[in-house]
Amino acid sequence: MRDDELAGQVALVTGAGGEIGSETVRALTHAGACVAGVVRKREPPVPASARDRILLLHADVRSEPDVRRAVRAALEQFGKIDILVNNAGSRGPTLPVTRLSLDAWREVLETNLTGSFLFARECLKGMMRRRYGRIINVASVVARWAYPLRAPYAASKAALLSLTWTLAQESGKANILVNAICPGPVAGEAVESVLAARANRLGISARVMRQRFLQPSALGRMVTAQDVSRTVLFLCSEAASSITGQVIDVSAGYGLYPGI
Ligand SMILES: NC(=O)c1ccc[n+]([C@@H]2O[C@H](COP(=O)([O-])OP(=O)(O)OC[C@H]3O[C@@H](n4cnc5c(N)ncnc54)[C@H](OP(=O)(O)O)[C@@H]3O)[C@@H](O)[C@H]2O)c1
């Protein structure tokens, strides 16, 4: 992508202070876009050179009033939203279904699925009117598998793929493209806390857990947040203008082989 390929475009990124989110804000800004970053606690770095093109908005993605307020504030500042990256995500507990509380189930579903629905609905209003839009939902490779001990997470990501397909069909005639990215394990703090919680629950060492986690990777490694942000840029680019309703794994070939 050219450095200025997204100049004049406006993106809204949820979970903008997280590992993938902050890298996505950086990449979109670098490509020339203005970015409304939705944050809760953590914030992404805002370089002085991009200060007038990055707006940080505090919102809980589960809250309808918060989502409406954030979209309204982004529109007031930048006048439109061309790109929505639904990236905020909750990992939820590492527990079997028999021990899951309803509150924990709801927290994950409401963050990963309902939050994406709310932002898509609010952003689509303007996108439909202007007959242009790109929506990118950040799901996970586990959306397609059984994932013991992480049922709400896997179920929420599977449902997010379904939402992606339906949104793509409903909004395609208005020239709005809706796709999902499924990252595999992304090297960083988020995956380290997943590994630690899983090792603890299974009663195995961190070293063995890491080996097991890398085993399904065809490339024998994790991916980077930058691998994900580059795919976001691709899906926003002219080169992807006929791609919609697709699920793109950015996973180093995670889970290709069932290990028989
Ligand atoms: N890391 C991986 O290996 C991996 C693999 C597959 C998919 N993913 C997906 O990639 C996305 C980004 O995750 P990440 O790896 O960058 O993890 P992360 O650093 O923990 O980022 C998650 C982000 O979501 C935000 N968030 C969570 N609940 C929220 C809520 N109710 N309202 C507003 N914001 C909320 C967090 O905000 P605060 O921290 O400020 O609360 C944080 O910015 C997630 O959807 C995740 O499921 C990650």
- Distances 18 to 13, 15, 41, 134, 177 between C-alpha atoms, Å: 11, 6, 9, 21, 24
Residue whose pair of structure tokens reads 């065809």 in the numeric block = 218
- State the distance from the centre of ligand 1 to the C-alpha of 83, rounded, in angstroms: 18
pLDDT above 90 (res 72): yes
Phi, psi of 126 (to 5 degrees): -70, -40
Distance CA 180, CA 1 (A): 19
Report, as an integer, the average pLDDT of 4-32.
97
Buried b (16+ CB within 10 A) or exposed e, 179-214: bbbbbbbbeeebbeebbebbbebeeeeeeebbeebe
pLDDT tens, position by position, 85-114: 999 999 999 999 999 999 999 999 999 999
pLDDT at 55: 98
* Residue whose CB lies within 8 A of the most ligand 1 atoms, among 19, 43, 231, for a mutation test: 19
- Ligand 1 centroid distance, CA of 129 (Å): 30
Give the DSSP H/E element, type plus range, for residue 136: strand 133-138
Asked whether the CA dihedral 78, 9, 164, 259 is positive or negative, the reply is negative
| Ligand 1 center–CA 173 separation, angstroms | 31
- For ligand 1, mutation pick of 140, 193, 229 (most atoms within 8 Å of CB): 140
pLDDT band at 3; cut points 50, 70, 90: confident
CA-based R_g, the chain, Å = 18
Assess whether pLDDT exceeds 80 at residue 57: yes
Tens of pLDDT, residues 235-244:
999 999 999 9
Asked if residue 195 has pLDDT above 80, the reply is: yes
Q: What is the pLDDT of residue 109?
A: 98
Q: If you measure from the C-alpha of residue 88 to the centroid of ligand 1, how many angstroms do you get, rounded to a whole number?
A: 5
Nearest ligand 1 atom to alpha carbon 111: 31
* Pocket, ligand 1, Cβ cutoff 6 A: 15, 17-21, 39-42, 60-62, 87-90, 111, 138, 140, 183, 185-186, 190-191
- Check pLDDT > 90 for residue 2: no
Mean pLDDT of the chain: 97
Q: What structural domains and CATH numbers belong to the chain?
A: 10-185+223-250 (3.40.50.720), 187-222 (no CATH)
Long-range contacts of 76-82 (CB under 8 A, 24+ apart): 77/36, 78/10, 78/34, 78/36, 79/10, 80/10, 80/126, 80/130, 81/10, 81/11, 81/12, 81/36, 81/123, 81/126, 81/127, 81/133, 82/9, 82/10, 82/11, 82/33, 82/127, 82/132, 82/133, 82/134
Verify whether residue 257 is a known catalytic residue: no
Q: What is the pLDDT of residues 74-84, one digit of tens each?
A: 999 999 999 99
Each residue of 162-179: pLDDT tens digit? 999 999 999 999 999 999
Q: Which atom of ligand 1 is nearest to the CA of 19?
A: 16
